[in-house]
Structure 1
């Protein structure tokens, strides 16, 4: 990965989330610049909204907004303070393709909660709303914003609907509208659409598919071998051989907009772990292959020529030496390998000298022991040697 890929195009600092090209300081700056485009008509409320959005930490965090009351349709009373409604434009989401915030979920079903006893904006109102922020984060019950009935002057807190539209049960993950029972049902229905041709392998995959309990869990799959391009051997041991390759379609991800699993990223670099002499596969061998690897597993495949089975894993292996990369950033592979970097410095020792053996030894020792940190170098400045 080049420095251009991990540094923000606007400010030049490293992206807070590299894969999403999401920079927290720049996003907060965008919100502040957008303040001129809206107002609740009350300075305390405007400050509350701005303060809340200063706390965003990641692309999937909800953006808190002032929501005009005419955006709320089909309001139905549940009790004297709680209502169901439809938000016409829907909330802001960070689009992972466009790398910006957009409104993709039109006619979003929401709850609105009346602040009937707080029609006058005071410090009491401020701290009451702040208490909702706190309880919302604890209960995983996201708040979209604040609105006001222009006739009654009644204020409302706008919450995400916490019940699944398909089965009526409470979402397992309310923030991302992920229902465990519905997703497992969806996966079970998909069992008839694929087979490895081996009952042991099919049962192994299905068992792990049914163990998902969060929206970002990896869906382990049977992956046809013709999905792999540009296969290169990296390393070999007594049990397996590791290859680097490109998975054409890429893995399944839970789409936060469509609320279903999609292949949205396309080509993905992965590693193939060939299990030697695995033609007569057993459940024990599959478990051994899985347990011998600490990296995320995407699925299982099979070489059609050798009939060896393959475990498809996240690619974190150095192409030069075959060892796992020393570090990674937010799930993106940072192509930095400590053994290879140390080897590079050792080979480079003959290309320079300070003219002083003790200084040379000091620099070399620092380079070998702190290769990942800012490397010590000797610099002649005003007659002094500094590092």
Structure 2
């Protein structure tokens, strides 16, 4: 794979997404025209086009599930109707349910909360999960926050990322989201304290917005709003 110019890919994605498709009658038509915009973009390499298309498909799935709109398909694995193109929500939920017996926090209330959140999640890379403490390395005290102590650590396994159609399971990734989000919970075996596992950013959201507000296009602003709501 050639070197991917992330800034060029995101610029192309934003142009395709914000293009004015006046003659489009529905979500599916808009998505198809956005894909065509990427395919005809001569400034992108083949790999960059594939990445931009993948980003468009992820966004397309997100909107379809949230709005319950768009063309449905029959999943080849479970034969159920589903809206998403990159995964099947039924297969993801069944996979997670089958895995419930393979983990526990030691607290039934927390187990039930995580399980309910997983079943209601509409995107494979937006799942919360139980994270065994021994999956964290170099746990180091950072500072004291408004209501708790904050530590940094390296998560050796990584989050659920996407659905693998060939293996019918969720794959893991060490990629991090652009917005701070909760990946799950863990428990310090020494203190017995439960801990939220979130992504460490270089700055807080308020500082980021002050420094970059004029540079953000509306699509990026909406993504930030969606990610923090």
Question: TM-score, normalised to structure 2's length?
Answer: 0.60
Aligned ranges 1:1-387 → 2 under 5 Å:
14-17=7-10, 24=12, 53-54=39-40, 58-60=52-54, 139-140=70-71, 162-173=73-84, 175-176=85-86, 178-216=87-125, 218-255=126-163, 258=166, 259-263=168-172, 265-266=173-174, 295-318=180-203, 323-324=204-205, 326-327=207-208
CA contact (8 A) 1:245 1:269 kept: no
CA contact (8 A) 2:164 2:171 kept: no
Following TM superposition, by how much is the alpha carbon of 1:325 offset from its aligned partner in structure 2, in angstroms? 7.5
Following TM superposition, by how much is the alpha carbon of 1:231 offset from its aligned partner in structure 2, in angstroms? 2.3
Q: Deviations over 1:157-176 (max 9, x none)?
A: xxxxx211233222231x21
| Residues 51 and 187 (structure 1), Cα distance of their counterparts in 2 relative to 1, 3 Å cut | closer
Q: Deviations over 1:40-65 (max 9, x none)?
A: xxxxxxxxx987722668241689xx
Query: How many pairs align?
Result: 172
The structure richer in strand per residue is 1
Provide the rounded CA distance (Å) in 2 between the counterparts of 1:226 and 1:51: 46
CA contact (8 A) 2:114 2:128 kept: yes
Q: Deviations over 1:204-233 (max 9, x none)?
A: 1111111112344x2211111111112233
Provide the rounded CA distance (Å) in 1 between the counterparts of 2:54 and 2:192: 42
Provide the rounded CA distance (Å) in 2 between the counterparts of 1:232 and 1:58: 37
CA contact (8 A) 2:71 2:83 kept: no
SS in 1 for 2:105: coil
Following TM superposition, by how much is the alpha carbon of 1:185 offset from its aligned partner in structure 2, in angstroms? 1.7
| Residues 61 and 314 (structure 1), Cα distance of their counterparts in 2 relative to 1, 3 Å cut | closer
Following TM superposition, by how much is the alpha carbon of 1:303 offset from its aligned partner in structure 2, in angstroms? 0.7
The structure richer in helix per residue is 2
SS in 1 for 2:185: strand
Provide the rounded CA distance (Å) in 2 between the counterparts of 1:52 and 1:183: 29
Provide the rounded CA distance (Å) in 2 between the counterparts of 1:62 and 1:230: 36
Provide the rounded CA distance (Å) in 1 between the counterparts of 2:105 and 2:213: 43
CA contact (8 A) 2:136 2:155 kept: yes
| Residues 186 and 372 (structure 1), Cα distance of their counterparts in 2 relative to 1, 3 Å cut | closer
Following TM superposition, by how much is the alpha carbon of 1:181 offset from its aligned partner in structure 2, in angstroms? 2.3
| Residues 317 and 325 (structure 1), Cα distance of their counterparts in 2 relative to 1, 3 Å cut | farther
| Residues 10 and 201 (structure 1), Cα distance of their counterparts in 2 relative to 1, 3 Å cut | closer
Provide the rounded CA distance (Å) in 2 between the counterparts of 1:373 and 1:164: 43
5+ residue gaps, structure 2:
14-34, 42-48, 58-68, 216-229
CA contact (8 A) 1:244 1:269 kept: no
Higher relative contact order (CA 8 A, sep 6+): 2
The CA RMSD measured in Å over matched residues stands at 3.9
SS in 2 for 1:139: coil
Question: TM-score, normalised to structure 1's length?
Answer: 0.37
SS in 1 for 2:197: strand
5+ residue gaps, structure 1:
1-7, 18-22, 26-48, 64-137, 142-161, 271-293, 329-337, 339-369, 375-387
